[in-house]
Amino acid sequence: MPSGVFLDDIPLSALLIAFIILLVISAFFSISETSMMALNRYRLKHMVYKGHTGAKRTARLLEKTDKLLGVILLGNNLVNAAAATLVTVIAVRLLGNNEIALTSATLTVTFTILVFSEITPKVIGATYPERTALAVSHVLAPMLRLAYPVVWFVNLFVSALLWATRLKQKNTGHAPRLSMEELRTLVLETGRYLPPKHHNILLNLFELEKITVNDVMIPRNQIEAVDINAPAEEVQQQLATCYHTRLPVYEGQLDNIIGVVHVRKVLRLTQAGELSGEVLRDILREPYFIPSGAALFTQLQNFQENHRRQGLVVDEYGELMGLITLEDILEEIVGEFATHSPIHGAAYRMQADGSWLVDGTSLLRDINRKLELNFPTSGPKTLNGLILEYLEDIPEGGTSLKIDNIPLEIIQTQDRVIKVVRIFPVAGTHS
């Protein structure tokens, strides 16, 4: 063989040392390829923003992925070919120039390269991509500059082949764009690295796109509003003792909302007994209406753009369905606030046996969150609505049933509405 002309004079020990060196170089290229491709691009970007020199160098290499892979694979294949040649020469020296020697050489070089130069370094590179990639970038950067003409020439044929097969080359040096579902999965998978509160807030933010104002609004029958035609003393008393800072004002019937009053702005008039219907009408702010079914995230943006903190939800016929506040949306993100109306605070009453007495008008999302249950929320929004849909009838007090394996007992009904329901604890849940 041609290589044997000048290799015959080299001592066998020197050939073995050269073969080991080639294995190490091949391992370097293998670990470089795997670590560079497995590197977390978002973490790399963060390190670049922090001014990390090695991260900046690695990021520049990954900006030209085709050139980077070109120099790595070029070096790796040259080294592996040289290693195969050396093993053949060594085998001929030891066993003679016959089929046994050639077969032994082939098996030996395959095994050693596979174990020591391919699998082992690639496993290390995949396990510690960040640490490895930043280290090998010191060597790859100058090597790419030196071998750039050769790599450029080789990539000409690669580009031509891609063009011929109608494949478009993508720059994989940049972090791929993630969909909302992929981002949500990323947050779920990295939960152990985040404080529990931060983790929950991030997950709740993703849920805002799926939740509508109907899911969290205060139902129509629970809205506290002021009748502008009521006696002045009654209006003053209501404003002086109400819990809320803003109240809708209607004329005649609740569907006829004519404005919103900021309670704190009229307290002085209330205390002085100077508040009348006409005075109240002059200081009302125009009501802000929200279409039924609006996504919660969209409504949060609308509140911000319109400088509003409260909106009235109406259906397609313009009839009032409920009321939603900025606080209601924020609670979906950060959790329940400590300050609540006494009326809503009494909606959940724990009993001695561990069961809960729950107001039938309570929202299913609130029940699921407070009692750690899993009532379906795709249909009716309240516990009353869920039970009526399930039974297809208005039950009497004392009726027991199970919904999604959760035992319930109707305690009180009034005016065709379920007022109070007892929810029994389910094995595996805690409150």
- Under the banding of pLDDT at 50, 70 and 90, the label for residue 427 is low
Check residues 343 and 234 and name the one with the higher pLDDT. 234
Are residues 12 and 156 part of one domain?
Answer: yes
Q: Per-residue pLDDT for 3 more than 70?
A: no
pLDDT on residue 27: 92
- Encode pLDDT of 321-367 as tens digits: 999 999 889 888 887 765 555 555 457 888 888 888 988 888 888 88
In a domain, 283, yes or no: yes
Are residues 64 and 100 part of one domain?
Answer: yes
Looking at residues 241-265, what average pLDDT do you find?
88
Q: Per-residue pLDDT for 277 more than 80?
A: no
In a domain, 204, yes or no: no
- Encode pLDDT of 13-29 as tens digits: 888 888 889 999 999 99
Q: Who's near 27: CB < 8 A, 6+ residues apart?
A: 116, 117, 118, 120, 121
Least confident among 68-72, 97-101, 271-275, 416-420: 271-275
Q: Per-residue pLDDT for 187 more than 60?
A: yes
In a domain, 254, yes or no: yes
Scored b (16 or more CB within 10 A) or e, 361-382 reads bbbbbbbeeebebebebeebbb
pLDDT on residue 360: 86
Are residues 84 and 149 part of one domain?
Answer: yes
Handedness of CA 266, 268, 270, 272 (dihedral sign): negative
In a domain, 178, yes or no: no
- Encode pLDDT of 71-114 as tens digits: 898 888 899 888 888 888 877 777 777 777 778 778 888 888 88
CB 150 within 8 A of CB 57: no
Are residues 408 and 304 part of one domain?
Answer: no
Are residues 158 and 12 part of one domain?
Answer: yes
Q: Per-residue pLDDT for 31 more than 90?
A: yes
Q: Per-residue pLDDT for 317 more than 90?
A: no
In a domain, 290, yes or no: yes
SS3 398: coil
For residue 414, give the CATH number of its domain: 3.30.465.10
In a domain, 71, yes or no: yes
CB 173 within 8 A of CB 63: yes
pLDDT on residue 171: 53
Token look-up 């724990």 returns 350
Q: Per-residue pLDDT for 259 more than 80?
A: yes
Are residues 118 and 155 part of one domain?
Answer: yes
The percent of residues above 90 in pLDDT, for the chain, comes to: 15
- Under the banding of pLDDT at 50, 70 and 90, the label for residue 312 is very high
Are residues 157 and 244 part of one domain?
Answer: no
Looking at residues 254-269, what average pLDDT do you find?
86
Which of 106, 139, 164 is the last residue in one of the domains?
A: 164
Q: What are 250's strand-pairing partners?
A: 227, 257
In a domain, 182, yes or no: no
Q: Where are the beta strands (DSSP E) in 326-425?
A: 348-350, 356-359, 400-403, 406-414, 417-423
* Domain range for 228: 213-334
Least confident among 43-57, 242-256, 325-339: 325-339
For residue 290, give the CATH number of its domain: 3.10.580.10
In a domain, 117, yes or no: yes
Are residues 220 and 137 part of one domain?
Answer: no
Handedness of CA 66, 69, 71, 77 (dihedral sign): negative
Total domains in the fold of the chain: 3
The Cα–Cα gap between 158 and 164 comes to 10
CB 296 within 8 A of CB 213: yes
The Cα–Cα gap between 369 and 197 comes to 14
Q: Where are the beta strands (DSSP E) in 143-263?
A: 218-219, 226-227, 246-251, 253-262
| Strand arrangement of the beta sheet that strand 253-262 belongs to | 226-227, 246-251, 253-262
Are residues 224 and 103 part of one domain?
Answer: no
Are residues 405 and 277 part of one domain?
Answer: no
Which of 314, 334, 354 is the last residue in one of the domains?
A: 334
Are residues 377 and 350 part of one domain?
Answer: yes
The Cα–Cα gap between 308 and 182 comes to 32
Are residues 351 and 321 part of one domain?
Answer: no
Which of 130, 145, 164 is the last residue in one of the domains?
A: 164
